[in-house]
């Protein structure tokens, strides 16, 4: 994927002068907004808008007498924001609440993008009735003065921003710039993509141009490619088929050639088939895993039984050795070297007697030989 680069844009005329808000006041207001935003979970979108407005005022207040001429890039705004995030997340002893900082920083991208679009003039700061995120029509009057007890600032956009047209039951209709609607997180991402990343629109101007890959995708080569493919499809599904967070079904879920929504698209039908195949495979996989689990348990049980038998044999052998050692200690005479006896004589006595007899026989033989020699002479 080619990384998109932000363009440099000129600031809308309302920010080409010195800010009427003091920089310290603007920074303090931004800090208060960040704290409120971190605590608020139910109204995260509206609180994000309040933080974006406060960041715009900080950037404007810090620009000096001539005001802003060019929209600060996202990096610059994120640095401004980080200073204030660190300030509200650090206590008097200098200890930083890292969890709190991460919670706020998670939305830093959208806050900065929204602020950039306000500064450029694509989004506008307006008033809504307190607790209601709609554009208050009374503010169009020249003598309108907001009552902070009744009104609160919000971020709005003309309905033709970022996409001039929209699909309505297969028909292409035009968004009117006169219709002012509240900004969502998705609006922020799409408008930033169009205005600052210059993502091209499709021919119908109802969304971004879809860059299709060349050639037919018949299969994937391996599990790694399959994982990439399924992750890409999941991302597409969340963006164009069903947005779970907003409980919103996208246009790609329906057949574009039908005038109503009674027919789902070929893509969605194939997804249903694939989902059924996955569920079937999962049922079989679970059965295989159960069999494997039983097999492993059986092997472990057999190994445990064999280990117990081996341990018993080792214990018996050791016990026999210990008993013999103890008996040897208690009855040492039973373990003296054996003396073999023949009648009343010991083996040593018999050996000595045998030697004596052998010597006598040798002496007799010598005498007999001398006698025979004399006769021969």
pLDDT in tens, 25-44: 999 999 988 887 766 644 66
- Look at residue 118 in the predicted model and tell me its pLDDT: 97
Contact predicate 201/285, CB 8 Å: no
pLDDT in tens, 263-314: 788 788 888 888 878 888 888 898 898 888 898 988 889 889 899 988 999 9
Higher pLDDT pick, 254 / 177: 177
| The overall pTM is greater than 0.75 | no
Angstrom distance (rounded) from CA 368 to CA 61? 146
Q: What share of the chain in percent tops pLDDT 70?
A: 87
DSSP secondary structure of 211-269: -PPSS-----SSHHHHHHHHHHHHHHIIIIIEETTTTEE-GGGB-TTSSSSSSB-HHHH
For residue 262, give every residue at least 6 positions away whose Cβ sits within 8 Å of its Cβ, in sequence order, or none: none
Higher pLDDT pick, 350 / 232: 232
Higher pLDDT pick, 226 / 83: 83
H-run or E-run covering 148: none
Angstrom distance (rounded) from CA 207 to CA 212? 15
For residue 238, give every residue at least 6 positions away whose Cβ sits within 8 Å of its Cβ, in sequence order, or none: 244
pLDDT in tens, 145-172: 999 999 999 999 999 999 999 988 778 9
Angstrom distance (rounded) from CA 316 to CA 309? 11
- Look at residue 1 in the predicted model and tell me its pLDDT: 39
- Look at residue 42 in the predicted model and tell me its pLDDT: 44
């Amino acid at each position: 994927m080619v990384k998109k680069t932000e363009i440099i844009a000129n600031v809308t005329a309302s920010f080409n002068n010195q800010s009427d808000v003091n920089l310290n006041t603007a920074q303090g207001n931004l800090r208060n907004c960040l704290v409120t935003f971190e605590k608020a979970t139910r109204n995260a979108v509206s609180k994000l808008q309040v933080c974006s407005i406060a960041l715009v005022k900080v950037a404007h207040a810090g620009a000096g007498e001539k005001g802003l001429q060019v929209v600060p890039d996202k990096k610059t705004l994120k640095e401004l924001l980080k200073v204030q995030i660190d300030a509200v997340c650090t206590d008097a002893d200098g200890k930083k609440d890292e969890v709190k900082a991460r919670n706020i920083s998670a939305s830093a991208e959208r806050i900065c993008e929204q602020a950039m679009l306000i500064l450029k003039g694509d989004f506008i700061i307006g008033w809504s009735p307190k607790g209601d995120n709609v554009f208050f029509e009374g503010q169009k009057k020249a003598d309108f003065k907001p009552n902070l007890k009744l009104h609160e600032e919000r971020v709005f956009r003309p309905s033709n921003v970022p996409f001039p047209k929209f699909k309505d039951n297969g028909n292409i209709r035009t968004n009117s710039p006169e219709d002012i609607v509240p900004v969502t997180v998705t609006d922020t991402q799409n408008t930033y993509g169009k205005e600052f990343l210059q993502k091209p629109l499709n021919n119908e101007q109802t969304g971004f141009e879809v860059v299709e890959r060349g050639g037919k995708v018949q299969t994937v080569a391996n599990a790694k490619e399959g994982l990439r493919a399924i992750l890409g499809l999941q991302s597409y599904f969340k963006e164009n088929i069903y947005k779970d967070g907003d409980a919103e079904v996208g246009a790609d879920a329906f057949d574009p050639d039908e005038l109503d929504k009674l027919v789902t698209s070929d893509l969605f039908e194939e997804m249903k088939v694939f989902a059924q195949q996955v569920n079937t495979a999962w049922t079989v996989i679970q059965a295989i895993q159960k069999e494997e689990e039983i097999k492993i348990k059986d092997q472990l049980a057999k190994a445990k039984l064999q280990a117990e038998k081996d341990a018993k044999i080792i214990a018996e052998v050791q016990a026999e050795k210990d008993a013999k050692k103890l008996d040897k200690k208690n009855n040492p005479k039973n373990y003296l070297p054996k003396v073999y006896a023949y009648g009343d004589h010991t083996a040593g006595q018999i050996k000595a007697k045998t030697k004596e007899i052998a010597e006598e026989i040798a002496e007799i033989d010598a005498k007999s030989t001398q006698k025979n020699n004399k006769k021969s002479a």
